[in-house]
Amino acid sequence: MSLKARLILSFGSIIIIMLITSGLTIRNLTRINAEVASIDCTWIPVATSIQNTNALLFSARGDLSAITTLHDLKEIESYNAHMAGLLRRIGESKKLFTAALEGMPPSDRKRAIEDINDQINAQSVQFAGMRKELLAFIKAGKNEEAARLLADSRTPFLRLADLYDQIISLSNEGANIASASARGVSDQSIIFSIGFSAAAVLISMAVILFLLRLINRQLGKDPGELDSIAGRVVQGDYDIDDNTEKRGVYASIVAMVQALKTHIESAQRESLVAREQSAKATEALRQAEEAGIQAQSKTEALRLAAARLQEVAQVVSAATTRLAAQIEQSDSGSRETSGRLAEAASAMQQMNATVQEVARNASVASQASTETRAKAENGSEIVRRSLHSIDLVHQASMELKADMAQLHGHTQNINRIMGVISDIADQTNLLALNAAIEAARAGDAGRGFAVVADEVRKLAEKTMASTHDVAKAIEAIQSSAAQSMESVDRAARQVEEANTYASQSGAALADIVSTVEATADQVNAIATASEEQSAASEEVNRAITQISAMSQQTSAAMREAAHAVAELADQTQNLMDLMSSMQQ
């Protein structure tokens, strides 16, 4: 597998893991937001609207109970107007309930609430007819018939209150299930975030170690050391072997420099031998010239000198032959060294291209890491917005809890007032009984007073009965309010837990952002190191090119020396021929 493919595979796996982590986190946050929205927009509105409707119905029944004891038309109209306002508010609460129910997704719980709502609507139609009939009795002055009608409707009314309580219980169950689902999604998101973050860190470390080992295996040494070695070779220092393990480019450079050093030393030795042989030939020629001068006077001495000169010429010829062979060998070594240097230069060019490819791939990986970091920061912003939305839901839940607590306090005050009214009714009944006794004692004179006392006693009994009904209604309101407070309290706690889990998800996503930033820094460091390595490789390539040029110059010098030796051999042969002719 090529280096480019390995880099793409390594960094691609890191980017894929980061994208998967971001996608899972965003998906889980979306699910948490959906569950919280279902609690805020569906279950809580259903429960609060039903509780308000229930409380308003109890208030309307209290007004009906009070009307049955009245005879003044103005007071009756006042209570009737108050009931009309309560009915309008009941209609508004039902609209809110209907809107929340329509926004609820299909489920068995929704169908159960719809069935109960149908029963409530049927009961409401029946109670509307009863209310009109009761008001007709009151306006006709038939208060006793109205009281009996109100008493007969007490059991169906309590059944209606029970239906409202069933809807509230179903709403609380739905809110609890949605909260548990959000909590499960949050736990799953935290586990996935931690797992994928750890995997991204481990893979990043593995990729870095892999690249370092790969580059070190190709170069054999640090790029800075290779640059220093190339500088030493350019300056003429060929002792670059430090007796360490040799591999990659460093091994090729050491072998090349050692071969170059051997050929240069051999060429220097051959050049020294050639200079010595040339000096001997020069001396022999000088002696031959002296012998020629003496030959003009002494032929015998000329013959001896010619013989001696011939021997010297033979020695020079043999030395010249050996020198030519050595120079040819040096020239062959120089050409071989030049070829190896050319191969090393080509290898360095290929390595330089590979290093530049590494730098480009590292730059691409750095850009991909930057994009991944931007996406992770976007996911962190989404988490922050989700936290803000959950905080708003939590504040709304706490405000609803405070309102329900205030409603509970008001019902307590009403209960105390009803207790006072009950005490007054008891005392009124007792006074009416005493008045009836005194009227009976008075005989015919107290008969009219006895009738009044009896009416007062009946009114006191009706007041006590109405007070008892109102007390039960208040008790039902208190029970419903207590359940609502518990439900709101649970919802607030669950929203707070969701807020905590979302905060943990935000922290995990922040850790992912930090990991992405660290990975991007490491990739940038790899890109920088690759660029430095490319520069060092170019320096080594230039040094090898200079050494190759020096080797070519040495080879040219060897060829010139071979040509000079060949000319010297020709002159020696001419000298030997001349000596032979002189001896003849």
DSSP per-residue string spanning 407-437: HHHHHHHHHHHHHHHHHHHHHHHHHHHHHHH
What is the C-alpha separation between 96 and 543, in angstroms, rounded? 86
Neighbours of 567 (CB within 10 A): 11
581 has pLDDT over 90: no
pLDDT average, residue stretch 74-79: 85
pLDDT average, residue stretch 15-30: 81
Place of tokens 């050929």: 263
What is the C-alpha separation between 370 and 521, in angstroms, rounded? 10
pLDDT average, residue stretch 418-438: 67
For the ranges 341-345, 501-505, 535-539, the lowest mean pLDDT is seen at 341-345
515 has pLDDT over 70: no
CB within 8 A of 123, min separation 6: which ones?
A: 156, 159, 160, 163
pLDDT average, residue stretch 57-83: 83
pLDDT category of residue 372 using cuts at 50, 70 and 90 = low
What is the C-alpha separation between 86 and 406, in angstroms, rounded? 19
End-to-end Cα, the chain, rounded Å: 81
Which one, of 486, 488, 429, lies nearest residue 456 by Cα? 429
pLDDT category of residue 1 using cuts at 50, 70 and 90 = low
Give per-residue pLDDT as tens, 36-60: 888 878 888 888 888 888 888 888 8
* CA pseudo-torsion sign 506, 511, 517, 520: negative
Confidence at residue 237, expressed as pLDDT on a 0 to 100 scale? 73
Greatest mean pLDDT range, 225-229, 391-395, 436-440, 459-463: 225-229
pLDDT average, residue stretch 450-463: 67
Lookup: tokens for 49: 């609207």
Whether the Cβ atoms of residue 125 and residue 66 lie closer than 8 Å to each other: no
Q: Cα–Cα–Cα angle for 541, 544, 549, nearest 5°?
A: 125
pLDDT average, residue stretch 218-230: 71
DSSP assigned state of 243: S
pLDDT average, residue stretch 391-403: 65
Confidence at residue 256, expressed as pLDDT on a 0 to 100 scale? 74
170 has pLDDT over 80: yes
Which one, of 159, 168, 57, lies nearest residue 473 by Cα? 57
Greatest mean pLDDT range, 99-103, 403-407, 469-473, 575-579: 99-103
What is the C-alpha separation between 332 and 496, in angstroms, rounded? 88
Q: Which amino acid is at 307?
A: A
Average pLDDT, the chain: 72
pLDDT category of residue 527 using cuts at 50, 70 and 90 = low
115 vs 555, which has greater pLDDT? Answer: 115
DSSP per-residue string spanning 22-75: HHHHHHHHHHHHHHHHHIIIIIHHHHHHHHHHHHHHHHHHHHHHHHTT---HHH
Whether the Cβ atoms of residue 223 and residue 354 lie closer than 8 Å to each other: no
Confidence at residue 318, expressed as pLDDT on a 0 to 100 scale? 65
Confidence at residue 115, expressed as pLDDT on a 0 to 100 scale? 93
pLDDT average, residue stretch 446-471: 67
E strands of 303-444, at which residues?
A: none
87 has pLDDT over 80: yes
For the ranges 104-113, 273-282, 300-309, 478-487, the lowest mean pLDDT is seen at 300-309
Greatest mean pLDDT range, 183-197, 244-258, 369-383: 183-197
What is the C-alpha separation between 584 and 582, in angstroms, rounded? 5
306 has pLDDT over 60: no
Which one, of 88, 79, 29, 108, lies nearest residue 502 by Cα? 29
Confidence at residue 422, expressed as pLDDT on a 0 to 100 scale? 65
What is the C-alpha separation between 190 and 182, in angstroms, rounded? 12
Confidence at residue 551, expressed as pLDDT on a 0 to 100 scale? 60
DSSP per-residue string spanning 94-153: HHHHHHHHHTSPS-HHHHHHHHHHHHHHHHHHHHHHHHHHHHHHHHTT-HHHHHHHHHHT
Give per-residue pLDDT as tens, 323-338: 566 666 655 655 665 5
Confidence at residue 38, expressed as pLDDT on a 0 to 100 scale? 81
